[in-house]
Amino acid sequence: MTITLQDVLPSYFEESRRHQSEVWGKQLVFNKGEYIKIVAPSGSGKSSLTHFLYGMRHEYNGNLLYDKANLHSFTVEDFARYRKDHISIVFQDLRLFPEQTVRENLELKRQLNPFHPPEKITEMAERLGIGNKLSTKSRICSYGEQQRVAIIRSLLQPFDFLLLDEPFSHLDDNNSKKAMELMLEEAKARNAGILFADLERVDFFPWTRLYHL
């Protein structure tokens, strides 16, 4: 699978952004298996980009393609299929079900299109230090714990690309490295690509291509 950007620019940005960015207004192709790092200062459209790529928002000029299929022509069913089989995401705002337990949040995701058996949930939670939180409602967990839940959730399905929008904003370096190690293992198991947008470079992410948004 490939993701192609053809002169993409948010409709609410001025045309001058094309000259200031290595992404907006450019011709780019991201291939399955590549690790893409996008350095994106506040206000540069980092979350917009990940939302565009996931098909959640469409306020942009230009074209985005999955392989040769233009997202402008996608139906709700098309997006649902790609999100189930090909594209996973860690949202900056996490989007957990607050009244469901951590395990319920994860199992709901796993059952949509299982890539792992149920016991993998416990294994991943233990690795990221939240094994004792599986029976806790997600709203009671700290933001850092919720962030780790969202990371695990993204890894329970098949994917060709994993989209990361500031996935470590509330984690210390040690927990961030543990989470990154797990994501890299899961991406490698699928020969998947990672597109990682954050405020700055992350030394422990082995990017193959680096862009400034």
**Mean of the per-residue pLDDT values for the chain?**
96
Stretch 93-115: mean pLDDT? 96
pTM listed for this prediction: 0.96
What residue spans of the chain are helical by DSSP H?
A: 17-20, 46-54, 76-85, 102-112, 119-127, 143-154, 173-190
Stretch 76-83: mean pLDDT? 96
Stretch 4-14: mean pLDDT? 97
- Please tell me the CATH code under which domain 2-98+160-212 is placed: 3.40.50.300
- Per residue in 181-190, pLDDT (tens digit) is 999 999 999 9
Per-residue pLDDT for 43 more than 90?
no
Confidence of residue 202 (pLDDT cuts 50, 70, 90): confident
Stretch 196-202: mean pLDDT? 92
Stretch 23-52: mean pLDDT? 96
